[in-house]
Structure 1
Amino acid sequence: MTLEQQIDMQIRAGGPMSVATYMGLCLTHPSKGYYRAREPIGSKGDFITAPEISQMFGELIGFWLVNLWQQMSEPKAFTLLELGPGRGTLMADILRVACRAPGFRDALHLRLFETSPPLMAEQQARLEAYEPKWLQNFENFDEGPVLVVANEFFDALPIRQFIRKPDGWHERQVGLVDGKRAFGLSPTPIPAEAMPEAVSDAEFDTMLEVCFGAAEVTSQLAKVIAGHGGSLLAIDYGYAATRTGDTLQGVRNHAYADVLEAPGETDISAHVDFGALANVARKAGLATQPLATQGEFLTRLGIGERAAALARANPGSAADIEAARARLVNTDQMGNLFKVFCAHSPGLMPPGFIS
């Protein structure tokens, strides 16, 4: 039985399901989910992430991590955790640079959080020299600070969608109409006072997206960081403060696709509410930096200088290096779309942000 058939059968048996339930099944079904059965990243997949565009992305984050490690007085043991490490490309670039700092490699405990067996195999192949271990939860960490990196992780966590009507907010659901999957609304209203204050004056038919999974992950990690010291660096498309609007999207074969079609074969994601994550982190006792665009962050870290150095060392590839730099930082490409979020132990001064 295909995932498509399973979802339709579940709807017929139990009624319409929330967008979060549908998204979770599509992405992480134990055997047929998008991230369990496919290799989604790269030219053979459905999308290309920043680390796949240029080594400069990971190298600069490597410098960033060394800077924080040094600010913490170069602890003799620390955990470096990546959420959703993809093919291991980002972490390989990070560690190639970071491990040049004396003492960094010896202190490193590399941990990865991943659900895709095909990607775990690639991560093992690329990162074997660093003795990685894969985590199933965020409960047990070795002694020392915890530095967390998450690139395009939070956007894939299932969201719930709500639409305001005269009698309150109604949750958007996925059901069947004439045998085909379609969006509809739960008949049971949720009182306006139960929703975030930021949308208290929202007009009728306005949509609000809420990602409880992102808040829970952030809460768990913030508590760990508050107890051990360290930071969380997250790079994703999103916004700085809670707002309304529909950002749910599907991508298949490097093109936008209907999220209700081809479940398990389509990448589904939504923009991240970094304002909500910042509130969660601060409640746990962490400090947060003003949200930066990817272009601003990488430029402040010196991507222009790094690109120039690479071009001098590889003159035959100078045009490609400049094209990659532009794709990562230009406002009409990835530079403005992607945002950089940082929550950290009070007292640290993460580079790349303007306080």
Structure 2
Amino acid sequence: MQAANEAYYAKGDPLGAKGDFITAPEVSQMFGELIGLWLTDLWIRAGRPQDCKYVELGPGRGTLAADALRSMKQFDFAPEVYFVETSAALREMQARAVPDANFLSNVGDLPFDVPMFIIANEFFDALPIRQLIATHAGWRERVVVRDRGTKFMATPGMTAMDELVPADFRNGPSPTIYETCPAATSIMYDLAGRIAEQGGAMLIADYGYTLPGIGSTLQAVRAHEFADPFENPGEHDLTAHVNFDELGNLARMRQLHVSGPIEQGVWLKALGIDSRLQVLAAKQPERTDELSSARDRLVEATGMGSLFKILAISNPDWPIPEGFEINQSLG
């Protein structure tokens, strides 16, 4: 999965109507603008620290950052920007969107001595997963082997993996699948530790599940349609659902405050997306239908509103982030 995605993202821009998929920032400027206002509110209530940094993991075209930073600048909040990105092709687009951005290849290279506001929109879903499968001989790791031509297939490996499966799922019948994402665990634990030591907050927007479960969530998308993940590797986007329960627990291990996860639609409405829609429509009445359609795609259950979740973690000495009510939590 890692090798295929590295090849895929190295080829160019996968986003938009002519690409393979579209993300929330590309649907509407309202998404990035509201994130910018959310960050600004937290910054103001934290006492306006002047040395904090804006960090985005896998920033796509840089659209979210450009929209968020534009909103933040209205309140004299203009932090230095860091993008964690490995694709040279995407870095070129990001540099055009945010010319002053600093580029890094690993989260370990981020500054160690300042508060950070970290955004991860559809970042964790692209990290490589590990799948364990129940067989008649016990639990084994699913490994990828060549089938024929450009086709690959998944098959159980030889090494016993029973001890890596949680007790609640260990007695599952063949071919039960249990997924983990070691890369997500490592990155989240590292960044949570940074926030605990340095201050700041992190916002995660992605699709995933809020309680531990079983089953494969690996999927491939090409030209906005689902494809076979094991066919033509490097030609389509490979993703898997994010385990929000684990991400939240990793932050709690670092003694951080955890907000959410809640549905994206609920969160955006709490932040005032409908008010922002009215303002934009009043300025450009000819775009009212377009803007309303974009709002619905971001908020409603028929679009991204329910599938996508929002999770925030923050330093316990900082203010509690807005938009999260206890009775809205799905965790």
In structure 1, the partner of 2:263 is: 293
TM-score when normalising by structure 1:
0.88
In structure 2, the partner of 1:126 is: 97
Q: Is residue 2:159 matched to residue 1:188?
A: yes
Q: 1:212 aligns with which of 137, 159, 182?
A: 182
Alpha-carbon deviation of 1:221? 0.6
Query: Does structure 2 conserve the Cα–Cα contact (< 8 Å) formed by 1:198 and 1:242?
Result: no
Q: Is residue 2:307 matched to residue 1:337?
A: yes
In structure 1, the partner of 2:43 is: 69
Alpha-carbon deviation of 1:198? 4.5
Alpha-carbon deviation of 1:142? 5.7
Change (3 A) 1:117 1:197: same
Query: What letter corresponds to residue 80 of structure 1 in structure 2?
Result: Y
Query: Does structure 1 conserve the Cα–Cα contact (< 8 Å) formed by 2:132 and 2:178?
Result: yes
Change (3 A) 1:165 1:142: closer
Change (3 A) 1:217 1:142: closer
Q: 2:130 aligns with which of 146, 151, 160?
A: 160
Alpha-carbon deviation of 1:184? 1.1
In structure 2, the partner of 1:89 is: 63
* Cα deviations by residue, 1:15-49 (Å, 9 ceiling, x for unpaired): xxxxxxxx011011xxxx00112211112321111
Alpha-carbon deviation of 1:246? 1.2
Query: What letter corresponds to residue 308 of structure 1 in structure 2?
Result: Q
Alpha-carbon deviation of 1:282? 1.2
In structure 2, the partner of 1:113 is: 84
| Structure 1 Cα separation of the partners of residues 206 and 253 of structure 2 | 22
Q: 1:320 aligns with which of 271, 284, 290?
A: 290
Query: Does structure 2 conserve the Cα–Cα contact (< 8 Å) formed by 1:219 and 1:281?
Result: yes
Query: Does structure 2 conserve the Cα–Cα contact (< 8 Å) formed by 1:249 and 1:259?
Result: yes
In structure 2, the partner of 1:27 is: 5
Q: SS of the counterpart of 2:160? A: coil
| Structure 2 Cα separation of the partners of residues 290 and 138 of structure 1 | 23
Q: Give the 5 Å matches for 1:1-40.
A: 23-28=1-6, 33-40=7-14
In structure 2, the partner of 1:234 is: 204
In structure 2, the partner of 1:283 is: 253
**Structure 1 unaligned runs (5+)?**
1-22
| Structure 1 Cα separation of the partners of residues 168 and 62 of structure 2 | 38
Query: What letter corresponds to residue 122 of structure 1 in structure 2?
Result: M
Query: What letter corresponds to residue 81 of structure 2 in structure 1?
Result: L
Q: Give the 5 Å matches for 1:239-278.
A: 239-278=209-248
Alpha-carbon deviation of 1:255? 1.1
Q: SS of the counterpart of 1:199? A: coil
Give the fraction of aligned pairs with identical amino acids, expressed as a percent.
42
Q: SS of the counterpart of 2:234? A: coil
| Structure 2 Cα separation of the partners of residues 333 and 197 of structure 1 | 36
Q: SS of the counterpart of 1:188? A: strand
TM-score when normalising by structure 2:
0.94
In structure 2, the partner of 1:225 is: 195
Q: 1:57 aligns with which of 24, 27, 31?
A: 31
Moved over 4 A (4+): none
Alpha-carbon deviation of 1:61? 0.3
Query: Does structure 1 conserve the Cα–Cα contact (< 8 Å) formed by 2:84 and 2:107?
Result: no
Alpha-carbon deviation of 1:185? 0.8
Task: Give the aligned length.
Answer: 323
Alpha-carbon deviation of 1:329? 0.4
**Structure 2 unaligned runs (5+)?**
327-331
